Structure 1
C-alpha cells in the first residue's frame, strides 16, 4: 500500500496559508521584475489589474465597502446598547408574560426595591453609559448615562419619574370617580388612589371582570371595602346622565373626577365575548368578595330591571322604559351588539379563544383598523363613538357632578381629563 500522502490542493489550504504563499510570490517578483517577462502577456495584464484593484479599488466598490463597514460598526454599537438597556428595570417588567402593578411602597433610597415587582435593579457602583448617544423623550436632551430603571430618560428626568412612580399622599376620607378603571393606566390610577386611602368609584363596561382584577391584588384586604365598581357604557349618553343622577342622589361628597376612559380603536363584539359568561351569570354565582365590590351597582341595576319605583335610583329615567338606561343596566351586553356589516360575519379566527395579551385582554389579530384607514374608509359609527366616549361623556360627567363636588368645603378638588394624541379623531 502506498502511504505517501499527496500535497493538498491550493483550495484546500487555509486562507492564511494561501495568502502567505501569494505574498511570497509577489515579494519574489518585486525583487526580480524580470520574472514577469517569462509570463504570457495576458497573465501579466491580469496580475497588474488584480494587484491594482486590491490596492486601490474602484470608487463604487470602495464606497460600498466603507458603507458596509460603517453599518457593521453601527450594528455593533446598537447591540451593545441594547444589551445594557435590557438590564433596566422597566424592560425587565415588559418581558413578564403579564404586566404587574408598580411597587407602591416608597423607596427608602435609590435602588432599594421590592424584587417581586421587577423593580429590583440593584444600584451599580459605577454609572453605566450607553455607547450610543441617546435622546431623552421628556426634556429632549442628549445623554449617555443610563438610569437603573428607565431606558429612555436622561438621569435627571428618570430620577424624578422614579420618585413619582411610587409617590403617594394621604387621601383618607376623600372620594374619587374614575372612568375606565379596569385595565392599563386606569387600573394603575385606581390602585394608587385606593392605596392612598381614598374611597373609589370605578366605571367600566365590564364591572365583574374589573372587580376580579382588583380582588387579586395582594393588599386587597386593606382597601377593598373602599371600592365600588359600576357598569357604564359611555357611548350611551342617557345612561351617563342617569349615572350622574344616581351619584347625586346617593353620595354626600366627591373630591376628584378622573376621566380616563377613551376609545382609540373600535373593537368588534368578538373581542369582548370571552367576558360575557362572567358578566351575565346569576349574581349568586359570583364570589362573595366580588359581590361586595359591585353591590351598589347590582342593587341599582336590579331595581331598574324589576321596575321598582320606590327606589330613588336613576331619577332621570323614572317613569320611563328602563331601556333608556341600557348603557347602565346592560353595559356589558351592549358590547355584543353588532353595529357594522363586517361584525355580522364570523370573525372568531381573529380573536382566538384563550389568547390574552400582557394586560390579560383578548388578542386582536386584525391586520387593519381605523388607525390605518383613509378618511373615506372610517365608519361613521366609529367616528360618533369616539366623540361620545372621549368628549361628550367627560363633559356631561364634569357638568352634572360639579354640584356634588361643591357639597364639601375643601378647596383642593380636581378634575383630570386624560388626553393623548391617539384619543383625538379629526
Structure 2
C-alpha cells in the first residue's frame, strides 16, 4: 500500500511506538489522526501538526465516543496500537481486578469494537487495511504479565480469523508483533529494549508491503523457537 494520501486512524498515537508511527506515516504523506488520553501528550501532537481525538478505550462508551467523533469521514487504515500494561502479579501481593478489566477491554475488546464500527467504511475504500499490534507475548506469555499476555494472544487469534474472513476483499489484515520496546510502558522491564522508532519503522514497512505479519526484533527468534517447540518458547518467556 502506498500510504501517501491515505487516511489513517492510529490509536495510542501520542507516545511510544504509536507516536513514532504517526511521525513516520505523516512524513510519507499520510493523513494521520491519533488518539490518546494524556492531555500533555495530546497537546504535543497537536503542536506537531496532528489531529488528536481524546479517547479512553478501556470501556465500550469510550470506543463508541471515538467512532462518533470520527463522524462521516473516510477511513483507509485502522491501526489498533493502543494498549495497557496492567500490573497483575500475585507474588507481589493483591491485584486490582478493576484495573485488569480495563486492560482486558483496552487490549482486546476495543480493537474488535473499532473494527466492527469501521468495517463498512473500510469496505467502501478501493484499498484498505487493518493493523493489529499484538506482542511477542502473544506467542508465549510472561509470568509477570499474565493479563497483557492473554489479551495479546486473544487479539492474535482474532486477527488470524479476521484475515481468513476478509481474504479476497479490499481489506488487508496485518498483525505486528513487537518485542520489548523502549517506551514508558516498559520502564521497569530489565530486558534489552528495541528503540521505538525502529519498531515503528518495521510496522510501517509491513503496511506498505502488505505483509500478513511483522515479527519484529526478538519476536523473530521466539517464532522460530515456537515452531520447533512451543514448550521451549514458553520456558524462555515465562521467566520474565
Taking structure 1 as reference, are residues 375 and 257 closer, same or farther at Cα in structure 2, changes over 3 Å only?
farther
**Alpha-carbon distance, 1:193 to partner:** 1.1
Query: Structure 2 CA distance, aligned partners of 1:193 and 1:375?
Result: 40
Query: Structure 2 CA distance, aligned partners of 1:231 and 1:414?
Result: 23
1:384 matches 2:216: no
| Structure 1 counterpart of 2:8, from 176, 180, 186 | 176
Q: Secondary structure at the match of 1:393?
A: helix
1:194 matches 2:17: no
For the 8 Å contact 1:240–1:393, the answer to whether it is kept is yes
1:394 matches 2:111: yes
**Alpha-carbon distance, 1:239 to partner:** 2.4
Q: Give the alignment of 1:213-362 within 5 angstroms.
A: 213=45, 215=47, 220=48, 224=49, 227-247=50-70, 249-251=71-73, 253-265=74-86
For the 8 Å contact 1:180–1:203, the answer to whether it is kept is yes
**Alpha-carbon distance, 1:235 to partner:** 1.3
State the Cα RMSD in Å. 2.3
Q: Secondary structure at the match of 2:58?
A: coil
For the 8 Å contact 2:53–2:69, the answer to whether it is kept is no
Q: Secondary structure at the match of 1:377?
A: coil
1:403 matches 2:128: no
Taking structure 1 as reference, are residues 212 and 400 closer, same or farther at Cα in structure 2, changes over 3 Å only?
same
Question: Structure 2, unaligned stretches of length 5 or more?
Answer: 138-144, 152-240
- Offset from partner CA, 1:302-344 (integer Å, 9 cap, x none): xxxxxxxxxxxxxxxxxxxxxxxxxxxxxxxxxxxxxxxxxxx
Give the corresponding residue for 1:424.
149
For the 8 Å contact 1:170–1:197, the answer to whether it is kept is no
For the 8 Å contact 1:178–1:186, the answer to whether it is kept is yes
Give the corresponding residue for 2:37.
205
Query: Structure 1 CA distance, aligned partners of 2:93 and 2:39?
Result: 35
Question: Structure 1, unaligned stretches of length 5 or more?
Answer: 1-168, 266-368
Query: Structure 1 CA distance, aligned partners of 2:112 and 2:16?
Result: 23
- Offset from partner CA, 1:363-403 (integer Å, 9 cap, x none): xxxxxx53x43498222112201111001111100110111
Query: Structure 2 CA distance, aligned partners of 1:397 and 1:213?
Result: 22
Q: Secondary structure at the match of 1:177?
A: strand
The structure with more strand, counted as a fraction of residues: 2
Aligned residues: 141
Taking structure 1 as reference, are residues 210 and 381 closer, same or farther at Cα in structure 2, changes over 3 Å only?
same
Query: Structure 2 CA distance, aligned partners of 1:199 and 1:213?
Result: 13
Q: Secondary structure at the match of 1:176?
A: strand
Q: Secondary structure at the match of 2:24?
A: helix
For the 8 Å contact 2:42–2:54, the answer to whether it is kept is no
For the 8 Å contact 1:207–1:229, the answer to whether it is kept is no
* TM-score after normalising by structure 2: 0.53
**Alpha-carbon distance, 1:250 to partner:** 3.0
**Alpha-carbon distance, 1:207 to partner:** 4.5
Highest RCO, 1 vs 2 (Cα 8 Å, sep ≥ 6): 2
Query: Structure 2 CA distance, aligned partners of 1:207 and 1:179?
Result: 15
**Alpha-carbon distance, 1:414 to partner:** 1.1
Segments of 4+ in structure 1 off by > 4 A?
Answer: none
